Structure 1
């Protein structure tokens, strides 16, 4: 255990996030945890605290400008061709095996690197191939990614590949803020004394995670839990089946966390928001009702047209009949005959 790590047991509040991190440590195949929140919310402190709960205690940070070779490792082709063996130089994935791989501002990484990290986190294996020469090694780590959505979003395809997703409240209550400051100041002034104060609580948390990992495989992924989760995913309108699989694994990890022998409804409900937060299909925007144009008032019929037939009763465009004055009948003029 690295003494410089602030113990996870001493983190104030953030109970949901601490639970999600522990579940990912119990079953790394869940696929990692994405933490969203503004700067200064101790996201890296939480990730480092999780490493102390694992057997290796390894904590590896992925630099923002890291290349693909630095992440996956490199193969010495000259040694392979000259000596007939693949000489592999390990990368960050190999170093993180058994521990935590922390990626700050994961939303600012190139998409293909995020894909690569998520592949390794889900499979537990890193496969590297160069010019027909390949090498595989274990890469079973807990992937913790953080992001501030104000600095850019992840594509939905990449969001979906993170197993669990949570958001930190950027405005803790005053009492919580004060207690956070007290504990941080106490840790900074005397780390050893602070760790000693929280040693019992941290050991209990570590033991609980270790026992849950030991009994995880014995908990069945039964049909009742599978069908209940499938119904919930369908009702939430999520795309694909990754949510169903992650939810089932997370519910089983929660059952192991409780020390139960099978998945119960409370396990399914406890992880629902972790699984669905970044996968729910957004509701379509409501359309404003179209306003009908105001009807123009028709002028009151005049006395001469009051009794006129309604439109459509006669010929189109026919004018109404009008009364003519009757005068004296006049004979047409007669022209004198020529002599």
Structure 2
């Protein structure tokens, strides 16, 4: 059966994307476990960053939300519900349920704080005693993906707000003594070109992972990428049907990994070695240790394993630590060679 009718606006299939394995893996693991803390993707222009991020959002299964709710509230998880929905439940009212695609929200470069966080109508609150909230992008992104292109050009204050919300899962708006709080649990994905400036180390450290992408040099691969894109542009529905089976297989694998994640364990000696690597690399704080443990568990779950193996840690540790290394102000972010070297000495040589 043709799937063309079910798709309003075709999105390039995730499984059709050639190369850029590091970026694809980082996105998949953040979808399996959003608590990893998002991913920063830095690399050359025209390397498919935006295409890949939209493709992973389109791949994900639909989610259940409370109908006509501005926060995409969950139907049973209290942590993912707005206050209005909680009140309805406490009163014993039935909730109408809708199935929607996982929200994919683009944050424009010139966005204001009000546009991001939402605004409170003070006049209505004072004259009528009604809290009227105009939701911002954080409300729309709840339970989805928030994508910030050129994040290194975004105002630091806004980046702070985004990272705080992503870490806590909540957004609070306060004006004239009136406060509104709503769930804002999303996977934060930032992208940028290092030639246009780096993020401050304090902000960079708050991203769970850091993926590097480079322009493909291999001529045959470049041809394959161009042909794949041309085929999609000329007949998107035919391209979608061609990759439908692979898309469904990957979707199933992600769902299974999300279910399995809570059962995955990391042996104590492996946790000690992860911390030993972080210590030897002089990584500030414990965020690196925590994220590496989380990512290794997500990778093990993605590969249908109950226990984390050394190979799982090896696969994710560079993504989790390369942007946390102290460096000379004139250097760019380490490509990961230092992380790999210390990993080998701790995990293999010992």
Instruction: Give TM-score, length-normalised by structure 1.
Output: 0.80
Match of residue 69 from structure 2: none
Match of residue 68 from structure 1: 113
Q: Does 1:21 align with 2:27?
A: yes
Q: Distance in 2 between matches of 1:59 and 1:83?
A: 35
Which of 28, 39, 44 is equivalent to 2:45?
Answer: 39
1:280 CA displacement: 1.8
Gaps of at least 5 residues in structure 1 are 286-339
Q: Distance in 2 between matches of 1:259 and 1:82?
A: 57
Q: Distance in 2 between matches of 1:218 and 1:76?
A: 45
1:127 CA displacement: 1.7
Tell which deviates more after alignment, 107-116 or 48-57.
48-57
Match of residue 291 from structure 2: 246
Q: Distance in 2 between matches of 1:3 and 1:216?
A: 32
1:241 CA displacement: 1.1
Q: Distance in 2 between matches of 1:96 and 1:142?
A: 9
Task: Go from structure 1 to structure 2 and tell me whether the alpha carbon gap of 1:2 and 1:47 turns closer, same or farther (over 3 Å shift).
Answer: farther
Q: Residue 3 of structure 1 contacts residue 191 of structure 1 at CA under 8 Å; is this kept in 2?
A: no
Match of residue 86 from structure 1: 131
Match of residue 106 from structure 1: 151
Task: Give the number of the structure whose alpha-carbon radius of gyration is greater.
Answer: 1
Q: Residue 22 of structure 2 contacts residue 213 of structure 2 at CA under 8 Å; is this kept in 1?
A: no
1:226 CA displacement: 2.4
Match of residue 125 from structure 1: 170
Q: Does 1:139 align with 2:184?
A: yes
Which of 141, 145, 160 is equivalent to 1:96?
Answer: 141
Q: Distance in 2 between matches of 1:118 and 1:110?
A: 13
Q: Residue 300 of structure 2 contacts residue 312 of structure 2 at CA under 8 Å; is this kept in 1?
A: yes
Q: Distance in 1 between matches of 2:275 and 2:121?
A: 47
1:145 CA displacement: 0.6
User: Structure 1 or 2: larger helix share?
Assistant: 2
Q: Distance in 2 between matches of 1:250 and 1:4?
A: 31
Q: Deviations over 1:39-77 (max 9, x none)?
A: 111110011011013333321110000000100111112
Match of residue 235 from structure 2: 190
Q: Residue 22 of structure 2 contacts residue 212 of structure 2 at CA under 8 Å; is this kept in 1?
A: no
**Helix, strand or coil: the match of 1:162?**
coil
Q: Pairwise mapping of residues 226-245 of structure 1 onto structure 2 (< 5 A)?
A: 226-245=271-290
**Helix, strand or coil: the match of 2:124?**
helix
Gaps of at least 5 residues in structure 2 are 1-6, 63-100, 331-350
**Helix, strand or coil: the match of 1:167?**
strand
Q: Residue 292 of structure 2 contacts residue 313 of structure 2 at CA under 8 Å; is this kept in 1?
A: yes
Match of residue 77 from structure 1: 122
**Helix, strand or coil: the match of 1:263?**
coil
Aligned length: 285
Q: Residue 107 of structure 1 contacts residue 152 of structure 1 at CA under 8 Å; is this kept in 2?
A: yes
Q: Deviations over 1:99-132 (max 9, x none)?
A: 2111110000010111111111122221222222
Task: Go from structure 1 to structure 2 and tell me whether the alpha carbon gap of 1:220 and 1:86 turns closer, same or farther (over 3 Å shift).
Answer: farther
Match of residue 269 from structure 1: 314
**RMSD of the alignment, in Å?**
1.8
1:211 CA displacement: 1.3
Q: Does 1:169 align with 2:175?
A: no
Q: Distance in 2 between matches of 1:86 and 1:245?
A: 39
Q: Residue 13 of structure 2 contacts residue 59 of structure 2 at CA under 8 Å; is this kept in 1?
A: no
Q: Distance in 2 between matches of 1:63 and 1:104?
A: 8
Q: Pairwise mapping of residues 269-288 of structure 1 onto structure 2 (< 5 A)?
A: 269-282=314-327
